[in-house]
Chain A
């Protein structure tokens, strides 16, 4: 005796959020049933294992059938096949596009290609995220990437509009797209301590300040619909960054800068001596990063450079986060007092981002 067929279809599609999560997490039906039973679902409604199994299968089938629609979430709202409340729709989409920080950290900055997809089993083994879930997340990244690639206008807005995601999730996807597009290196051992959220924050900074779209400003994007405006860094700006080199090549400027910073810092921090000793090195590090950004290769190494040239030296001198803040603030502001330095605007645009990125990245 065996159950040949078993279906349950509601006029309003019934979806259990817990089962949905298990499905998204790539559990098999059997495993999902186990998890649910361990979670005490049997205590509800005098259920037994058969009931839970039947329910789980039904739900899995429903999700499977809805998955096609979730690939273009806008369709979910005007399709006729499933009657799902708008609230439910939002949850379905949001959860479907949610991802594991552990997983995304592995893929961040990689090319979203078939090659990477082949490595997913390794990533799955490493992160403990099931392969099925890895594939879904990877496909989501790729799908979003492909769609926004061809669109004009602001990146976050496009993602939010096309995939009906929350602001937070749309921003995360923007970061992923931005990283994938510029192929930032994030996998090096030295960068391992950084979380996805660190990178997402930095991506947000870069998108908002260093891209073509950033120049136009948030209010004027309507009449400045440039393709990839939020994805590609502003080439002109990168060129201008070269001008900053004068801060380290001109000895007077360098000394002047140093003395200004040191005067301001003296007595305010325990690590003053180390700061003073390292000033030139650190300044060279930051300015060199700026000067090299015209090179695509160096753009990719942006984060590793930040860590190697700046964060690591500071960390070895045991700067506190407050020290870092203090130092960078004065380091940035002192430049304004240098009369012979003509590139204040570029400097601010550069340092604004660097400062917030470093603040975010300076932790254990």
Chain B
């Protein structure tokens, strides 16, 4: 009996009229938890009842506390007939189970009915008393904190990052059970809502157990998704990164002060192997972190001018684990695994073997985080991507969902081996998604191959890595992550390497694609911009395996095309790196949609991008020539304009300073739009950008013309607007407090049945472009502002429909300050300027103090066996490799790119201005998909918000058609999220996202149904200015932000 849940129903307001005769309502409330139900008295004849009930007490297991929501049902009492339900409130009590989070839930909740929407509000008080504190981790995982935020939450430091956790649970979808054919829509919807609420509770508990077993106390970057597989069931799955977080005490912050930014000494490549033997439990770590003095010298040296290039570095080293990797059956590196096996391991004949596979899951060196403490991320290889097409079949035994587990396992293995191929031992910015159409399901996973600093990891996890440690000496954090992790002589794909334009010591690629956020300390030139590649491909309607094969065959082409588009658009903007890359492929009955979004930036460390060069198929034809010249001119103009727009003006580097690019064959691929560089035969064209490596677009068919056309029709944002899909906008540092989070959904019906691929592409591109234009227009009063975290989700809800849903936040910034701030920051700083950033350097010092740089890497000379891994390296090769993609097989792709220019500009750290923001009497709850709110400081995380709603209507026309229906539903969802946050005592939601928005309509029957799943972190934040005064008097911890500025 480890817990007592107490609930009190206080009052209701704005109730609907349930009795037509009196225009009033006789309301009472049922409070249910598990199988126990309490009722309040009937409060007669009122629309604003005051129940003021006693405390209803539920004595329950903490396991139930985690899984079950508290269900509150408001009913209208009817003497003669059945009582009518007014609506329900589900309250997730998880936040109360964490001592550090909320202590009471109290507030007005919208009463929600799946048919009528919000019908009044109810005031509820909920408390939890947990007994047996000592023992409470036994059955459940109470106390493990969950964060949607994909970085270390502010106010915490990561003592240890344990790594990847995943779990999935399956069940029959009530909507598809026979009983639902006779149930009312309301009953069916409620059954689904309740089930999903239960399943996510269970999922969270199971993940929590894994975290505890790993010795962690929190999950960061928690991402939960639903797969509505229709007849075959309902899957709820989640991934996250297990960490041991420590709340920053004033003491540790003081430390930070004493060791200011000298710490960013990133380099962990020289981490000794003994470092891997950290205590199992992250909690032990702090104790082992002695005085950081021994280590401080190192950082200092790193921030000094780059030491001369020493060519004598050992090149990649071949570790035993990379051998294992080749065979694709990595050994389990640690003995403490096993939890996964317990949860998911099927009891089959191959039990032993399977258990081992399950154990391996612990070994996936994946991180759902997208931004990291400085010095955590050493090198970035490129994007790794895997997709697999599966046929759904009925899940026979929901308790042992081995098929789904195996599917994901397979994909993760693939991702892991791709990362290996890039010479990386870890994957960061990792995410998984699905797209389902009928019985076909595309599973996708993507991430960024990277080399991480071992110090943050437990033993085993990342030990495998270090394949390619050529960089012993510290490289500055501003460019270190750009340096290639793979072997120069055995590159996994063709790329041009140059010496880093920033430190001149290491090799960097010419283009870099990643799924993570721009590292805070990265040196960037100019501003960034949102870049999107869109693609539609028709496919024949088919069933079963034929269909799956057709899709499999299309996937590599789509990925290739998307990649080419991204590359072209990137060059057109004169940028050389993509962050936050997210490639989505959605399947419909007769088409596939591909959408790749990313934020382009000019990394100072990478070489300047070459221009785009147009080549004609028939050079002799004068009219054609003329045409090409015109296009070329337009492209050149566009590039020049973009350079100006995004303020990209890297200083010219003198040639000698730069290592010569690795010579590439000058021959041109016959594939159109290839990215080989050649400029020979087109010497008459003036290539004003980049002498050596212009990107050639060959116009030899209509596709190419279309591509060029679409390239040029992508409109830049209007003056005063910027946009990106990452956390913050490179080049903008002075946010003011104006923010507006929004969700927009648009569905297009394709009436023309004879559409071609091109026609479709055009339609799809216009759809996305028009959406963006709409946003700019709607938000024009906020100028100057930046749309951050633009998250597009595409779907093909039914034949001939294309759905695009976007969630983003518009944030204002102070234009005038830009220059000045930039300048001021530029000079003195090498590191970060926010306090939470600062803690990491400290952390590093501490950790490394007991891990003297030893010569772990010394060992093995350059490996030769990497080459065997380049197999599916380039996009081109992929096309030939499609044999890979057999039915139920998977399509694998690696993309990793590179590229850019010099100029030591300041780093891109968002400096949040401390402007005040308007107060108001009502509890205003701000929402943002970002992990922070400009101008404020998060002082407390109250717990995760994870809500699932279904709304259905049988009077679609009366509700204003589908648009009216969805509009009010989204507004209702926002309202319910805000109410829950406010009841927890919070005033904001960060890292908000809408994972699912599934709309089904049947206008002929005047019906529609919609499912929405949202999540985020409820927080309390205070204005930065308030904080300062507070800090001086009470908490030293808070004052560090101001101090930071002084010390740096």
Stretch from A7-15, A98-106, A188-196 that touches the partner: A7-15
Residues on A with C-beta less than 8 A from B922 are 77-78, 86
Q: Is the CB of B777 within 8 A of A47?
A: yes
- A5 and B118 alpha carbons, distance in the complex (Å): 22
Q: Which of B744, B747, B927 contacts A3 (CB 8 A)?
A: B747
Give chain A nearest CB distance to B484 CB in angstroms.
40
Give chain A interface residues in 251-267, CB to chain B under 8 Å. none
Question: Is A339's beta carbon under 8 Å from chain B?
Answer: no
Q: Which of B748, B778, B921 contacts A8 (CB 8 A)?
A: B778
Question: Is B823's beta carbon under 8 Å from chain A?
Answer: no
Q: Is the CB of B744 within 8 A of A8?
A: yes
Residues on A with C-beta less than 8 A from B582 are none
Give chain B nearest CB distance to A75 CB in angstroms.
7
Q: Is the CB of B960 within 8 A of A64?
A: yes
Q: Is the CB of B773 within 8 A of A51?
A: yes
Question: A5-B966, A44-B780, A86-B920 known; A81 and B971 CB under 8 Å?
Answer: yes
Q: Is the CB of A81 within 8 A of B742?
A: no
Question: A57-B963, A81-B110, A81-B118 known; A65 and B780 CB under 8 Å?
Answer: no
Q: Is the CB of A5 within 8 A of B924?
A: no
Q: Is the CB of B740 within 8 A of A81?
A: no
Give chain A nearest CB distance to B660 CB in angstroms.
43
Give chain B interface residues in 681-695, CB to chain A under 8 Å. none
Question: Is B770's beta carbon under 8 Å from chain A?
Answer: yes
Q: Is the CB of B741 within 8 A of A11?
A: yes
Residues on B with C-beta less than 8 A from A46 are 715, 718, 773, 776
Give chain A nearest CB distance to B927 CB in angstroms.
4
Residues on B with C-beta less than 8 A from A6 are 745-747, 963
Q: Which of B744, B751, B918, B974 contacts A2 (CB 8 A)?
A: B751
Question: Is A62's beta carbon under 8 Å from chain B?
Answer: yes
Question: A5-B999, A45-B718, A47-B777 known; A85 and B918 CB under 8 Å?
Answer: yes
Q: Is the CB of A3 within 8 A of B748?
A: yes
Q: Is the CB of B777 within 8 A of A44?
A: yes
Chain A positions 46 through 81: 1 when the CB is less than 8 Å from some CB of chain B, otherwise 0: 111011101101100110110000000001011111
Question: Is A334's beta carbon under 8 Å from chain B?
Answer: no
Question: Is A277's beta carbon under 8 Å from chain B?
Answer: no
Residues on B with C-beta less than 8 A from A8 are 742-744, 774-775, 778
Q: Which of A1, A2, A51, A81 contacts B774 (CB 8 A)?
A: A51
Question: Is A4's beta carbon under 8 Å from chain B?
Answer: yes
Question: Is A82's beta carbon under 8 Å from chain B?
Answer: yes
Q: Is the CB of A9 within 8 A of B974?
A: yes
Question: Is B763's beta carbon under 8 Å from chain A?
Answer: yes
Q: Is the CB of A7 within 8 A of B966?
A: yes
Question: Is B470's beta carbon under 8 Å from chain A?
Answer: no
Question: Is B926's beta carbon under 8 Å from chain A?
Answer: yes
Question: Is A83's beta carbon under 8 Å from chain B?
Answer: yes
Question: Is B962's beta carbon under 8 Å from chain A?
Answer: yes
Residues on B with C-beta less than 8 A from A81 are 110, 118, 971-972, 975
Counting contact residues on chain A (CB < 8 A from B), the size range is 35 or more
Q: Which of B748, B921, B960, B967 contacts A86 (CB 8 A)?
A: B921
- A115 and B763 alpha carbons, distance in the complex (Å): 52
Q: Which of A5, A11, A14, A55 contacts B974 (CB 8 A)?
A: A11
Question: Is B964's beta carbon under 8 Å from chain A?
Answer: yes
Q: Which of A44, A78, A83 contacts B924 (CB 8 A)?
A: A83
Q: Is the CB of B801 within 8 A of A51?
A: no
Give chain B interface residues in 724-776, CB to chain A under 8 Å. 740-752, 763, 770, 773-776
In the complex, what residue of chain A is closest to B972 when comparing beta carbons?
A81
Question: A80-B108, A80-B118, A86-B921 known; A2 and B748 CB under 8 Å?
Answer: yes
Q: Which of A8, A11, A86 has the most CB of B within 10 A?
A: A11
The interface residues of chain A, by DSSP majority, are classed as mixed
In the complex, what residue of chain B is closest to A82 when comparing beta carbons?
B971
Chain A positions 327 through 359: 1 when the CB is less than 8 Å from some CB of chain B, otherwise 0: 000000000000000000000000000000000
Question: A8-B774, A80-B118, A81-B975 known; A2 and B780 CB under 8 Å?
Answer: no
- A86 and B118 alpha carbons, distance in the complex (Å): 22
- A14 and B776 alpha carbons, distance in the complex (Å): 13
Residues on A with C-beta less than 8 A from B780 are 44-45
Question: Is B674's beta carbon under 8 Å from chain A?
Answer: no
Give chain A nearest CB distance to B1002 CB in angstroms.
13
Question: Is B14's beta carbon under 8 Å from chain A?
Answer: yes
Q: Is the CB of B776 within 8 A of A1?
A: no
In the complex, what residue of chain A is closest to B743 when comparing beta carbons?
A9
Q: Is the CB of B777 within 8 A of A52?
A: yes
Residues on A with C-beta less than 8 A from B970 are 7, 9
Question: Is B978's beta carbon under 8 Å from chain A?
Answer: yes
In the complex, what residue of chain B is closest to A86 when comparing beta carbons?
B920
Residues on A with C-beta less than 8 A from B742 are 8-11, 14
- A87 and B740 alpha carbons, distance in the complex (Å): 16
Q: Which of B121, B925, B974, B999 has the most CB of A within 10 A?
A: B974
Q: Is the CB of A48 within 8 A of B773?
A: yes
Q: Is the CB of A83 within 8 A of B774?
A: no
Chain B positions 964 through 1003: 1 when the CB is less than 8 Å from some CB of chain A, otherwise 0: 1011101110110011000000000000000000010000
Question: A7-B963, A47-B777, A61-B964 known; A85 and B747 CB under 8 Å?
Answer: no
Q: Is the CB of A4 within 8 A of B801?
A: yes
- A2 and B975 alpha carbons, distance in the complex (Å): 30
Give chain B nearest CB distance to A150 CB in angstroms.
14
- A62 and B967 alpha carbons, distance in the complex (Å): 8
In the complex, what residue of chain B is closest to A75 when comparing beta carbons?
B14
Residues on A with C-beta less than 8 A from B773 are 45-48, 51
Q: Is the CB of A5 within 8 A of B745?
A: yes
Give chain A interface residues in 1-38, CB to chain B under 8 Å. 1-14
Give chain A nearest CB distance to B1021 CB in angstroms.
15
Residues on B with C-beta less than 8 A from A77 are 922
Give chain A nearest CB distance to B383 CB in angstroms.
31
Q: Is the CB of B740 within 8 A of A9?
A: no
- A178 and B999 alpha carbons, distance in the complex (Å): 51
Question: A8-B778, A45-B718, A46-B776 known; A80 and B744 CB under 8 Å?
Answer: no
Q: Which of A3, A57, A80 has the most CB of B within 10 A?
A: A80
Question: A80-B978, A81-B110, A86-B921 known; A1 and B763 CB under 8 Å?
Answer: yes
- A85 and B966 alpha carbons, distance in the complex (Å): 23
Residues on A with C-beta less than 8 A from B918 are 85
- A8 and B744 alpha carbons, distance in the complex (Å): 4
Q: Is the CB of B920 within 8 A of A85?
A: yes
Residues on B with C-beta less than 8 A from A79 are 14
Question: A6-B963, A7-B966 known; A65 and B971 CB under 8 Å?
Answer: yes
- A77 and B922 alpha carbons, distance in the complex (Å): 8
Give chain B nearest CB distance to A33 CB in angstroms.
13
- A46 and B110 alpha carbons, distance in the complex (Å): 39
- A319 and B753 alpha carbons, distance in the complex (Å): 81
Residues on B with C-beta less than 8 A from A2 are 748-749, 751
In the complex, what residue of chain A is closest to B961 when comparing beta carbons?
A5
Question: A85-B918, A86-B921 known; A1 and B748 CB under 8 Å?
Answer: yes
Give chain B nearest CB distance to A16 CB in angstroms.
8
Chain B positions 775 through 803: 1 when the CB is less than 8 Å from some CB of chain A, otherwise 0: 11111100000000000000000000101
- A284 and B752 alpha carbons, distance in the complex (Å): 83
Q: Is the CB of B118 within 8 A of A45?
A: no
- A340 and B159 alpha carbons, distance in the complex (Å): 101
Q: Is the CB of A9 within 8 A of B777?
A: no
Q: A11-B978, A64-B960, A83-B978 provided; 5 other pairs, C-beta below 8 A?
A: A1-B763, A6-B963, A79-B14, A80-B978, A85-B924
- Per CB-CB distance, the 5 closest pairs between chain A and chain B, nearest first, are A5-B747, A4-B747, A9-B970, A11-B741, A8-B744
What are 17 A-to-B residue pairs whose CB atoms are below 8 Å? A1-B763, A4-B962, A5-B745, A7-B744, A8-B742, A8-B744, A8-B774, A10-B740, A10-B741, A11-B974, A45-B718, A48-B773, A55-B777, A61-B964, A78-B13, A81-B118, A82-B971
Residues of B in contact with A (beta carbons under 8 Å apart)? 13-14, 108, 110, 118, 121, 715, 718, 721, 740-752, 763, 770, 773-780, 801, 803, 918, 920-922, 924-927, 960-964, 966-968, 970-972, 974-975, 978-979, 999
